[in-house]
Structure 1
Amino acid sequence: MNAEPFFRITRGQPDAAELAALTAVLTALVTAPRATPVFPRPAPAPWRRPERTRGPRGARSWRDA
């Protein structure tokens, strides 16, 4: 276990209510959901893979083209 404190009070003498408020803020910051994922998804490739494209839509789909 790490004996070094997580934070240090350098000035003043905080009372129990002030320490509780500081603890609540630090806990909220640690447990808040992140705006972006830790491992962002890679950007899609600029080219298409023909095996993943949809096939013809019907017998007369050539008329819609």
Structure 2
Amino acid sequence: MVASEMLGSSAGMGFFILQAQRQFSLPEMWSGMLLLGIIGYLLNIILLVVEHYVLSWHRLSRA
């Protein structure tokens, strides 16, 4: 999603990071990249919790 925003969009996080890079606004670029990393980490945690509850039968069947 972010990569597609970098290539063909005029709004969004990918567009923001690419524009900051093109304008040599390094603090804005790094803050956008950091925000993407935080969002990715939080989504990973959320999906691990969902997996734990939804697929608990799978974990028990392998033991």
Same fold (TM over 0.5): no
Tell me the TM-score normalised to structure 2 length.
0.41
Higher RCO, Cα 8 Å, sep 6+: 2
More helix by share: 2
